Chain A
Amino acid sequence: GNSVTQMEGPVTLSEEAFLTINCTYTATGYPSLFWYVQYPGEGLQLLLKATKADDKGSNKGFEATYRKETTSFHLEKGSVQVSDSAVYFCALSNTGNQFYFGTGTSLTVIP
């Protein structure tokens, strides 16, 4: 079946620290992989995506590389800001019909 496992939170970092949020997946076929972000009081927004192995998605300083050999799609940012405080969800879709989300990782960045 299809599933996503995310690093449990919450995560608290100081401003300018390096961020990694781990995500591994189980899927049939060759899924597309996504990171969504939910800022406080807002709906989910697509942060970045990758559609095939070795693709790197990037946006707003965040990056994630689709690693087929380790079935992973870890989210990284070199220097986090207070404004990055949010809940981050890893997700996959095989066909664009069904999307499978992880449980979310809450990030708090303190000044």
Chain B
Amino acid sequence: DTGVSQNPRHKITKRGQNVTFRCDPISEHNRLYWYRQTLGQGPEFLTYFQNEAQLEKSRLLSDRFSAERPKGSFSTLEIQRTEQGDSAMYLCASSLTGFNNLGEQYFGPGTRLTVT
């Protein structure tokens, strides 16, 4: 396994357009996380999945953001009607986590979004 992959690596879009990013986690990992990172800041939690169930979403995640993990494998993050403030690096991480077991998160390289 080559680790967590994300596509595309870079995306430039015009304000108002919709964009979708994909994350392929490490195959046996049951948890998948999405983060947003802006310049000079640490990753900011957006949402996470346990298998195909989306269990938690940040209060910062607006209605324009939606994430899916349809078969408990890859995940997509869609942003509708993009705004310039959405420009950031979007990171995906996966882990193998059980009850009372905090699995190590493995991060992908990220998708850099620029909204013009």
Contact = CB atoms under 8 A, between A and B. Distances in A.
B107 A45 contact: yes
A98 B68 CA distance: 18
B56 A102 contact: no
A96 interface: yes
Interface residues of B, number: 26
A96 B102 contact: yes
B107 A99 contact: no
Contacts, number: 54
Interface residue range, chain A? 20 to 34
Contact of A98 (B41, B56, B109, B110): B56
B45 A43 contact: no
Interface of A: 4, 6, 32, 36, 42-46, 49, 51, 89, 91, 93, 96-104
21 contacts: A4-B42, A32-B102, A36-B107, A42-B109, A43-B3, A43-B91, A43-B110, A44-B91, A44-B105, A44-B107, A46-B105, A49-B102, A96-B31, A97-B48, A97-B55, A98-B45, A99-B45, A99-B105, A101-B43, A101-B44, A103-B40
